[in-house]
Amino acid sequence: MTTIHNLGFPRIGAQRELKFALESYWRGESSLDALQQLGAQLRQRHWENQKGLDLVPVGDFSFYDQVLDMGFTLGHLPERVRGFQGDALDNYFRVARGRSAPVSEASSTCCGGVAAGEMTKWFDTNYHYIVPEFTATTPFQLDTSRLLAQLAEAQAQGVQAKPVIIGPVTYLAIGKAKDGCDKLALLPRLLPVYAELLETLAAQGVEWVQVDEPILVTELDADWQHAFNTAYHQLKSCRVKLLLATYFGPLQENLYLAAHLPVAGLHLDAVNGRDDIVPLLNLLPAHKVLSLGVINGRNIWKTDLNAVLDWLEPLAQRLGSRLWLAPSCSLLHVPVDLANEQKLDTEVRSWLAFALQKLDELQLLATALRDGRHAVKDALAANQADMLARRTSARVHNRAVQSAVARISQHMGLRESCYAQRAPKQAALLQLPLYPTTTIGSFPQTAAIRHTRSEFKAGRCTTEAYKAAMQAEIARSVHEQEALGLDVLVHGEAERNDMVEYFGEQLEGYAFSQFGWVQSYGSRCVKPPILFGDIYRPHPMTVEWIGYAQSLTTKPMKGMLTGPVTMLNWSFVRDDQPRSESCKQLALAIRQEVLDLEAAGVQIIQIDEAALREGLPLRQSLWQEYLNWAVESFRITANGVRDETQIHTHMCYSEFNDIIAAIAAMDADVITIETSRSDMELLEVFKHFNYPNEIGPGVYDIHTPNIPTQEHIIHLMRKAAEHIPAQRLWINPDCGLKTRQWAEVIPALSNMVAAAKTLRAVT
């Protein structure tokens, strides 16, 4: 009998229930009890959704982030929040976002503002985690309250529970040493806490614990490889069976290490690491379980079940009950249920599977292995028909687009002149002061904006009324920016729902779900477009809105676009051709928009590539191939313009130091990046790399309600000026302001403008 299980389930809710409950609590509109009750209801529903599995994950639910959860379980709290006397969940939110709920008479201590934890991407996904902070004296002390409470709920519901935790080596690897200490030196202090946790779970009747160690799919030096042996030989005496889970890539040179760790089972990503399977069979001891992730947990295409069975059946015969099946990784990265969709057309919908449908696929595979394919022949035949229909659909393939990509030349990616020659021309045209101020693009998406957009989409608001409402919001944004004294303005993006979805809706080759939400961080959800076919732009997408905004001011107005690499990395991308091919199609489409904006008189065009780094392969040896086509795609998009047109790009919440040469090769005139949470740490790279163009290090952390002071902004910019000449520095927030409130934005930007004036006066 083949065991089927899941590594994790989406926690935000099919209708984003957790998002709305969190934000209500943070605004002070609902109680902590109400939030906790909603969490319990979601957990109960999600376990019910997974009742066909032999083992169900427990502990994968989180109110913000699973890495932060693990930190609290380990008693690993940043020093600035230790000793807090309020509710533990309030303290948790203080680490996650800088504060919990607003101050109230009933709870005057719960929301004392602190610096929020640094946030970065979870491996090569668009999920953001809170980075653990280490020093040489970091203490650990077990707190099982969260995990044991969820385990008790699951057991009361009759769930065959498999607790999920992040493994000790990965936990150390993804954290940051704030004092430069050796993180591995903390392992002897950390392992007894893990051992105590596992023994506590054993005492609750737990048989299997899933220990996530995705760092095993990266290139590890000898010290980190040794850390795995040290950790799991120390934990092997615990009375639970450990399923060591890896995902997001192949094990390759770590295959032998993983196979011989003293654990009861090993999970392998068989979607991204298929080539590991055969050699692993010859390495894995005969008593160990092999769990294969055969359903793609990161994309939304149906699985070719017949093809998977072709290679699974011999494995099942060889392994017998030692073979387990699961999705490749946690289903956190896909929407919950395709059955809710009313917006997707029948053809595209027939090609898709969301989380619940992926679990159905898993059960079909298990039944076919147990009872033979004839037991599910109708389902397999329907699946095969869907596979064929997608491969042959005229909506997927467009010869004109394919021919345009084939005609791409090296010249298309080159500016007329180098930056040193462009910069004086741009300066003469724009007449900007030292330390020019700007924002990243969006302003608050108020309830009124969202309501109007929703009414328009539902057909209850005319085109004329919608246009008038959006123009009024644009006018408000322009007025507020002029009153603040910003130097380069933006139109505020009132008409845009999402920086990728907005453009995808206007490009052929994309489809859009109604409830296809996935968690990006905390309460922030995104609804990735579905890139199913060849991409082209049938008409201009932004020119009218930007032109209207420019008509309201004499100051420069940035044209705002999303770049091809981010469009690709933040979409669910077709899997029937190389990603590089789809990216170049996007580059050609957005290039047309850039040229139209320039022709309309727009002097500054920002092409956001927020997701450039997250597309990097996890193995550094494969980086250059990706960076070659990613940078080429950006340059195709950006470089058809005249020297006088200033090109900006923006990147956020990633480590850029190790790809700074590629960023420089993009040759944007100005790049803006996140640096506020890391206290300008990202700029350390410029000690050794002479970045040639202009840069705007973000000084306002927009993912927290905390308002930066003028003094703090000056401090950050002076640190920046140690690495970049003041003549090439801009001042800006670290990301768009759509998730903030005007009451927060105005004082924060006022402080930013005041800081710029102070810096100009003393420079």
Answer yes or no: is 596 a known binding residue: no
Backbone phi, then psi, for 296, in 5-degree steps? Answer: -65, 110
Catalytic residues: 703
Which tokens in the block code for residue 71? 């930190």
CA–CA distance, 396 with 398 (Å, rounded to integer): 7
Tokens 């997974």, located at residue = 50
Answer yes or no: is 525 a known binding residue: yes
CA–CA distance, 449 with 459 (Å, rounded to integer): 16
Do 542 and 560 contact (CB within 8 A), yes or no?
Answer: yes
Q: Is 314 helix (H, G, I), strand (E, B) or coil?
A: helix
Do 298 and 280 contact (CB within 8 A), yes or no?
Answer: no
Q: How many residues are present in the chain?
A: 763
Beta-bridged to residue 56, according to DSSP, are 161
- SS3 annotation, 530-576: EEEEEEECCCCCCHHHHHHHHCCCCCCEEEEEECHHHHHHCCEECCC
Beta-bridged to residue 78, according to DSSP, are none
Cα angle value 709/715/716 (rounded, 5°)? 95
Host H or E run for residue 4: strand 3-4
Half-sphere exposure of 680 (CA within 13 A, CB side): 20
CA distances from 17 to 10, 40, 269, 519, 524 (A): 12, 12, 30, 12, 12
Answer yes or no: is 181 a known binding residue: no
Which DSSP string corresponds to 125-150?
A: SS-EEEPPEE-TT-------HHHHHH
Answer yes or no: is 455 a known binding residue: no
| Helix extents (H) in 437-542 | 447-457, 463-484, 501-504
Nearest to 669 by CA among 489, 344, 415: 415
Answer yes or no: is 17 a known binding residue: yes
Do 454 and 461 contact (CB within 8 A), yes or no?
Answer: no
Answer yes or no: is 328 a known binding residue: no
Answer yes or no: is 19 a known binding residue: yes
Nearest to 123 by CA among 225, 21, 213, 210: 213
Answer yes or no: is 347 a known binding residue: no
- SS3 annotation, 646-685: EEEEEECCCCCHHHHHHHHHHCCCEEEECCCCCCCHHHHH
Answer yes or no: is 608 a known binding residue: yes
Answer yes or no: is 183 a known binding residue: no
Which residues fall within 8 angstroms of residue 674, CB to CB, at 6 or more apart? 651, 652, 653, 654, 682, 698, 734, 735
Answer yes or no: is 351 a known binding residue: no
Answer yes or no: is 650 a known binding residue: yes
Nearest to 520 by CA among 494, 499, 496, 541: 499
Answer yes or no: is 182 a known binding residue: no
**H helices, E strands: number in the chain:** 26, 22
CA–CA distance, 436 with 441 (Å, rounded to integer): 15
CA distances from 33 to 78, 111, 583 (A): 25, 16, 46
Answer yes or no: is 111 a known binding residue: no
Answer yes or no: is 276 a known binding residue: no
Answer yes or no: is 121 a known binding residue: yes
Which tokens in the block code for residue 223? 């010290």
Do 23 and 345 contact (CB within 8 A), yes or no?
Answer: no
Do 247 and 7 contact (CB within 8 A), yes or no?
Answer: yes
Which tokens in the block code for residue 214? 């995705």
Answer yes or no: is 735 a known binding residue: yes
Do 633 and 583 contact (CB within 8 A), yes or no?
Answer: yes
Binding region for Zn(2+): 650, 652, 674, 735
Binding region for 5-methyltetrahydropteroyltri-L-glutamate: 16-19, 121, 126, 524-525, 570, 614
Binding region for L-homocysteine: 440-442, 493, 608
Binding region: 16-19, 121, 126, 440-442, 493, 524-525, 570, 608, 614, 650, 652, 674, 735
